[in-house]
Structure 1
Amino acid sequence: MRAAVLHETGQDKLEVLDDVEAVGFGPGKVRVRVRATGLCHSDLSAMSGVLPQPAPFVPGHEGAGEILDVGEGVRGLRPGDRVVLCWLPACGACPACRRGQTELCLAGFMNAGTPNFRRPGGDVFGFAGTGTGTFAEEVVVDAGCAVPIPDDVPFDIAALIGCGVTTGLGAALNTADLQAGSSVAVIGCGGVGVSAIQGARLKGAAEIVAVDPVAARREAALRFGATRAVAPDQLADAKQQITAGEGFDYVFEVVGRSATARTAYESTRRGGTLVIVGAGAMDDVLQLTMFELFFDEKRILPSLYGGGDVLRSYERAIALWRAGRIDLAGLITHRVPLSEINEALDHMRTGSALRTCIEI
C-alpha cells in the first residue's frame, strides 16, 4: 500500500512509497482503511524531534476510515463500520481510568517501541504510542482505537474530531470550564486554537481575543467567534483596552513554547486561569518565581487531549456540529491527496492552513 514515510528525524520532507505493509493484525486488533486524515502541528513536531518519536515512521494521528477486518475477540466492531481513530484510547482499568481521568491513561503508549509497518528494507513505526500512522492507506490498531461514528458524519469531519477539535473544544469546555461573561485570550490560532475559540463562544465569553502572527489566521479566528484579533506585539494593548491592564480571566496557550506560555501567564489576571494546550519539547522549561506563584494565585491548568473523557467529547462534538453550534467544515482550508503531502506540510509551516485534509 501507499504511505508517507519520514526516514530520519529532522528531515522536513516525507517520501510517499508504495511498498509499505501494515503489520500486527491479530487478536484484539482491527485493520482500518484510512479515508481522510488531518495534518496536525504535532506531526511536524514529531518530524523535527520536538516530540519524541522513533524513526523511520509514518506520521499522522488525526484520521477516520472504515474497518476492513477485525481480529479474534473484538466485540462491537465489524467490517464496513465507519470509525474515527483515537490516538489515546482508555484501557478502563488503570488508576487514571478508575478515577475518571481517562485522558491520562497511558495504555496506548505501552507499544511505543513496536513497529506498525514494514517495508522490504526494514521496520517502520507509526506515530504516537498507538502507532496510528494515518498518512497511510491502511493501519492496524487496537480495537479501542477505532471508535464508531454515525453514517451522517463525513470522514473529513470525523478526522478533525479525532484530535484538533476535541483538544481545542475540551480545553475550553472541560479544563477551563470558563464562566459566561468572562474575558479570554487565545494565543495560537491554528485548528486547535480556533476550536478553543469556538468553545469559549459556546460558554458565553464576552470578549475573545485571538492572538497569532499570521494575518490569515487572525481573519479566520474572527469568523469562528473571536471578538478581536491581534498580532503578538498588539496583545499588551488589547489587554489594556479590554481589561484596563488587569489581565484576562482565561488565557489559552496553544503553541507549546515556554516563551508564549510566559506571555500567556503575564496576560492572565491575578486569580485568573492559564490553560496550557500546546505540546512542547521536553527540554523547553517555563520559568516562574515562587513568589509570583504564591502572590498572583493564578491557576495553571495543562489540558491533554481536551482534558476529559475522549469518547464523550467525540459525541459532544458531533452533537454540536449537527446542531450548527460549531463549524467544523470551515476548519478545513486545504485539501490534498496523499501524493501532495509535502505541499500540505508547507501550508502548515507557513500558517496558511487551519487544517489540511489529506484525502486517501
Structure 2
Amino acid sequence: MSTTVRAAVFSATGASPEIRDVVLPDPGPGQALVRMSAAGVCHSDLSLSDGTLPQTWPAVLGHEGAGTVEAVGPGVTEVAPGQRVILNWAPPCRSCWFCAQDEPHLCEHALDGTLSPYAELGDGTPVYPGLNTGAFAEATVVPVGALVPLPEGVDPAVAAVLGCAVLTGWGAVNNVARLRPGRSALVLGLGGVGLSLLQAARIAGADPLVAVDASPEKEELARSLGATDFLVADDDTHRAVRRLTGGRGVDHAFEVVGRASVVRTAWNAARRGGTVTVVGVGSHRDEVSFSALELFHQARTLQGCVYGSSDPVRDIPLLAEAVRSGELRLAEMITDEIPLEGVPEAFERMRRGRGGRSLVRFGV
C-alpha cells in the first residue's frame, strides 16, 4: 500500500512550487507516517529554494511542522498511531563524535536523510525531502528520530513553530549566549526566529532589549513581545544602539538575517568584551572581514549558532513549560495563516521582509 497526498513540489533552484500529488510509501522499519496539521514557512526553506543551501530536485521543502502519527513501520515503539508530534529536522544519530560530546545539533549524520528520495511523483520520479522532513505536504514519512512528542498544554494549531523558529531562537539565548538578567541585548531581524529570540531574551531578563528590522511595520509586534526599543535598520544602526546603551554598545548582539553586512552591524553595536551570536543562515559567498587590530582591541566574542545548539528531546519540554505559563507566546508570532497553495506568496513575503511567521494549516 501507499499514500497519495497533495504537496508543494519544487522542481529546480529558483522555481516556484507547484501543488502536485506525491506518493508516499508505507513506513518501513524505524519510520512513521505523520499526517500534518501545520507547517511553518522558514527562511531556511527560502535558502534551499534559491540555492543558498544545497538541495536535490524535485523536492518537497518545509521542515518546521507538527501533526499526528497515522502509521508506524515494523518494530517502532517510540511513537504510536494517534500520537501528536513535532518534527525535528536534524535528528541526531546519538553515536557519532559530536553526539558523544553532547552536541547533537552538530551530528555528522543529522542530514543523511536529505540525500535519498522519500517519495515519488505520479510518474515514478523520485522526490527528495527538504531538510529531512518534507513538511509542505498533507503527510510525510520520516524516521522516528525526527519526531518529538507534543507536550500537554501546547496548542497543536501553533505547535509547529516550536520545531525550528522557537528552538533556534530560545537556544541562541539560553544555550549559546547564556544571557543573564540585566544584560543588554540587540536582535537584528524579526522573522520567525528573530521574534522567538526576542521573546527568549525578554524571558531571560534582557534590559534594555533593542529590536531592529528593515520594516517599520514590525515595531508594534516587536514591542508587544518584549522589545524596550525599536529601530528601523539603516547605515547608522550601530550608532543608534550605542546611544541607547550609554555609548558602550550591547552586551549581546544577535544577527538573525544571514547577511555579512548585518553581521558587521551586530559586531559594531556590541560593547568591548561583548558577544555577537550569528543565527541567520547566509551564503558562503557573502564574506565578513575584520582587522587583526580590532579583533584584539575589542575583545569581543563572535560565535555561530546552529539550531540554537538545541536537543529537541531535552528542550521542547522546557519550552512547553514557558508556553503553559504564558511567558512564551506562539500565536502572536504567526502573522499569516495560509493554505498549502499560499506557500509561494509566503516565500515572496520573506523576500520582501514582511510579516513574522507564515503558517500552513492543513485540513481547514
Same-fold call, TM cutoff 0.5: yes
Structure 1 residue runs of 4+, over 4 Å off?
none
Match for residue 127 of structure 1?
130
2:51 is matched with 49
Deviates more, 1:319-328 or 1:114-123: 114-123
Question: Which residue of structure 2 aligns with residue 15 of structure 1?
Answer: 18
Q: Distance in 2 between matches of 1:152 and 1:310?
A: 17
Given that 2:41 and 2:343 are in contact with CA atoms closer than 8 Å, whether structure 1 keeps it comes out as no
Find the counterpart in structure 1 of residue 81 from structure 2.
79
CA drift of 1:134 comes to 0.3
Structure 2: distance between partners of 1:195 and 1:276: 15
Which residue is 1:169 aligned to?
170
Residue 3 (structure 2) pairs with residue 2 (structure 1) = no
Structure 1 segments unaligned to the other structure (5+ residues): none
Cα distance 1:63–1:350, how it changes in 2: closer, same or farther (>3 A)? same
Residue 302 of structure 1 deviates from its aligned partner by 1.0
Aligned-residue offset at 1:237: 4.1
CA contact (8 A) 2:154 2:323 kept: no
Matches within 5 A, 1:86-105: 86-105=88-107
TM-score (norm 2): 0.94
Q: Do the aligned partners of 1:82 and 1:151 also contact (CA within 8 Å) in 2?
A: no
- Paired position in structure 2 for 1:288: 290
Match of 1:112 in 2: 114
Matching residue of 1:346 = 348
Distance 1:273 1:237 in 2: 17
Aligned-pair distance for 1:220? 1.1
Q: Please list the CA deviations of residues 101-135 of structure 1 after superposition, one character each: whole Å capped at 9, or x if unmatched.
A: 1111132212322012211341111101x2x1100
TM-score (norm. length: structure 1): 0.95
- Distance in 2 (alpha carbons) for counterparts of 1:320 and 1:41: 24
Alpha-carbon contact 1:187-1:252 (below 8 Å) kept = yes
- Say whether the 8 Å CA contact 2:92–2:99 is kept in structure 1: yes
Find the aligned partners of 2:218 and 2:26 in 1 and give their Cα distance.
40
SS of equivalent to 1:186: strand
Deviation at 1:156, TM superposition (A): 3.0
In the alignment, the residues of structure 2 paired with residue 237 and residue 290 of structure 1 have an alpha-carbon distance, to the nearest angstrom, of 22
Asked if structure 1 preserves the Cα contact closer than 8 Å seen for 2:47 and 2:53, the reply is yes
1:171 deviates by 0.6
Give the whole-Å Cα distance in 1 for the aligned partners of 2:299 and 2:87: 39
- Using a 3 Å threshold, how does the CA distance of structure 1 residues 150 and 183 change in structure 2: closer, same or farther? closer
Which runs of 5 or more structure 2 residues have no equivalent in the other structure? none
Check conservation: 1:183, 1:205, Cα contact below 8 A: yes
CA RMSD of aligned residues (A): 1.5
Q: Of residues 24, 27, 52 in structure 2, which corresponds to 1:25?
A: 27
Counting aligned pairs with the same residue, the percent is: 40
Select between 284-293 and 139-148 the one with higher mean Cα deviation: 284-293
In 2: Cα distance, 1:249 partner to 1:241 partner: 14
Q: Report how far residue 22 of structure 1 moved.
A: 2.1
Offset of 1:150 from its aligned partner? 3.0
